[in-house]
Amino acid sequence: MIFFKSFPRIPVFLFFSLLIASSQAHSENAEIQTPAPPTIAASSYILLDFNTGKVLAENNADAKLAPASLTKIMSVYVVFREISNGHLHLEDLVNISKKAWETPGSRMFIEVGNQVKVEDLLKGVIIQSGNDASVALAEHIAGDETTFADMMNQHAKRLGMTNSHFQDSNGLPIENHYTSARDLAILTAALIKEFPDYYRWFSQKEFTYNNIIQHNRNQLLSRDGSVDGVKTGFTDAAGYCLVASALRDNMRLISVVMGASSANARATENQNLLNYGFRFFESHKLYQGKTALTEARIWKGDTTKLEAGLAEDLYATVPRNHYSDLKAVINLDKNITAPIKEGDKVGSVVVTQKDDVIANKDLIALKSVEKGNIIRRIYDGALLMIGKSNGK
pLDDT in tens, 316-340: 999 999 998 999 999 999 899 999 9
Q: How many domains does the chain divide into?
A: 2
Distance (Å) of CA 20 to CA 7, 24, 113, 166, 288? 10, 7, 69, 52, 21
Domain boundary among 229, 259, 280: 280
Instruction: Report d(CA 361, CA 52) in Å as an integer.
Output: 12
Q: Can you give the pLDDT at residue 389?
A: 59
Q: Can you give the pLDDT at residue 384?
A: 79
First vs last C-alpha separation in the chain: 14
**69 carries an active-site annotation:** yes
Residue from 27, 43, 44, 69 carrying the catalytic annotation: 69
**44 carries an active-site annotation:** no
Q: Mean pLDDT of all residues in the chain?
A: 91
User: Domain residues for 306?
Assistant: 2-28+288-389
**255 carries an active-site annotation:** no
Q: Is residue 34, in this structure, part of any structural domain at all?
A: no
Question: Is 249 found in the same domain as 140?
Answer: yes
Give the residues of the chain that fall short of pLDDT 70: 1-32, 388-392
Residue from 27, 43, 44, 72 carrying the catalytic annotation: 72
Instruction: Report d(CA 134, CA 144) in Å as an integer.
Output: 11
Instruction: Report d(CA 74, CA 199) in Å as an integer.
Output: 13
This prediction's pTM: 0.88
Domain boundary among 246, 280, 314: 280
Helix (H) / strand (E) containing 259: strand 251-260
Residue from 129, 134, 164, 169 carrying the catalytic annotation: 129
Q: Can you give the pLDDT at residue 30?
A: 55
Q: Can you give the pLDDT at residue 372?
A: 86
Mind listing the pLDDT tens digit for each residue in 273-285?
A: 999 999 999 999 9
